[in-house]
Copies of this chain bind each other. A is one copy, B any other.
Amino acid sequence: MASPSSRKPRRARAAAGAERPALPRLWLRVDLAAEEQVGPGKIRLLELIAEHGSISAAGRAMGMSYRRAWLLVESLNSTFRDPAVTTQHGGPRGGGAELTDFGRDLVRRFRSMELAAAAAVAEHLLALDRSRKP
C-alpha cells in the first residue's frame, strides 16, 4: 500500500481510477436497455466488493455513499437473471457481501471486453494521440 497513489485523497484516487490503464485509453459501457447499463463504475464496485467483502467498504473505496453503492448493486441485480452480489444479514460478518458466480463472470467478461475492444482500435487510439497538440 506504499504506491504513490495511496497518498492521494480518496476522491482524487477514485477520480483518477486506480488500476486504470495509461492514456490514451478506451472507455466503454454496455447499454442493454434504456435503464440497464454496465460500465467501468459498476464493474469496479464489484471488484471492490469481492476484495472488501462489503458493499459499504467497496463504496467508500470509490468515494461514494453506501446508498449510491447499494443502488448500483441493486441495478445490476435487477438487470440480470442471476444476482451479481449476495448479502448476509447478521452472523459473524453481519452486513457482509460477496460476488456470486455470475458476478465474477460479469467482471471477467467486462474486463475481457475492454481488452478486446482496445486491441481492435489500438491503431486508431495511437493515431488520435499523435494528432493531439504537442
Contact = CB atoms under 8 A, between A and B. Distances in A.
Which applies to chain A's interface (DSSP): helix, strand, loop or mixed? mixed
Chain A contact-residue range equals 35 or more
B128 A38 contact: yes
A26 interface: yes
B28 A26 contact: yes
A25 B36 contact: no
Nearest to A37: B27
Given A27-B29, A31-B25, A117 B121 contact: yes
A116 interface: yes
Contact of A30 (B26, B31, B78, B106): B26
6 contacts: A25-B30, A26-B28, A27-B30, A28-B29, A78-B133, A79-B132
